[in-house]
């Protein structure tokens, strides 16, 4: 089971992950975007951890709501609204639950992905974060249905996200600034899909001991 403290640990780990990968994500974005994705993600999660250190909500959904609203306020471009929506929908899925079982975690990520799709209007193969999150969710759902524990389920999800991230190399962008490049966007890994993989990987690393 994943509890409030586990959720906080994941969010704090995301701050570390995006700090460590700031230059990597920004370099990916420089090839097909505004060259600011890594900078924005680091700024956003620095603000998130500052907000949580100042006043951490007593429940899981409150933590996720704080993450959502902070990202929306501090992250520029499309990433703030999209990741903000992800965490806002995830918070709603956690409402009233002190502990999250494997099926609850799948539902959390499903709600977050649905929020991103509705907000960004992106589909599979558009070369966006959806291309990492969708195969991750499929892998997690299948693992959950097969009776996997949280560790195995999250590892399957992270593997699915990694595969989806790599698949964006061969895609032509159909959304966002990268779509302006047309065929020239082929051969570049999508930065949003990459940050989504990092998000899943951090959850697997932090919660895998359960």
Predicted local distance difference test score (pLDDT) of residue 181: 83
pTM value is: 0.94
Write the class of the CATH domain 4-203: mainly alpha
Predicted local distance difference test score (pLDDT) of residue 209: 66
pLDDT above 90 (res 76):
no
The Cβ of residue 148 has, within 10 Å, a number of other Cβ atoms equal to 16
Predicted local distance difference test score (pLDDT) of residue 176: 80
The Cβ of residue 149 has, within 10 Å, a number of other Cβ atoms equal to 12
DSSP-derived secondary structure for 131-198 = HHHHHHHHHHHHHHHTT--HHHHHHHHHHHHHHHHHHGGGPPP-STGGGGGGGGGTTS--HHHHHHHH
Predicted local distance difference test score (pLDDT) of residue 22: 97
What's the rounded mean pLDDT across residues 6-12?
95
Express each pLDDT in 142-164 by its tens digit: 999 999 999 999 999 999 999 99
**Which pair of tokens denotes residue 111?**
């709600």
Q: For the chain, what are the domain ranges?
A: 4-203
């Amino acid at each position: 089971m994943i509890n409030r403290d586990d959720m906080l640990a994941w969010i704090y780990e995301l701050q570390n992950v995006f700090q460590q990968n700031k230059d990597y994500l920004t370099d990916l974005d420089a090839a097909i975007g505004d060259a600011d994705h890594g900078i924005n993600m680091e700024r956003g999660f620095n603000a998130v951890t500052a907000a949580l250190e100042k006043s951490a909500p007593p429940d899981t959904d409150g933590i996720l709501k704080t993450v959502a609203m902070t990202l929306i306020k501090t992250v520029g471009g499309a990433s703030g609204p999209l990741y903000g929506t992800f965490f806002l929908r995830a918070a709603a899925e956690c409402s009233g639950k002190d502990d999250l079982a494997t099926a609850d975690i799948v539902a959390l990520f499903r709600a977050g992905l649905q929020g991103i799709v509705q907000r960004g209007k992106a589909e599979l193969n558009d070369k966006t974060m959806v291309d990492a999150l969708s195969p991750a969710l499929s892998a997690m759902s299948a693992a959950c249905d097969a009776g996997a524990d949280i560790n195995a389920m999250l590892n399957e999800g992270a593997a699915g996200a990694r595969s989806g991230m790599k698949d964006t190399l061969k895609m032509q962008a159909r959304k966002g600034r990268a779509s302006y490049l047309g065929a020239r966007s082929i051969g570049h890994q999508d930065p949003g899909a990459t940050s989504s993989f990092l998000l899943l990987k951090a959850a697997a690393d932090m919660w895998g001991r359960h």
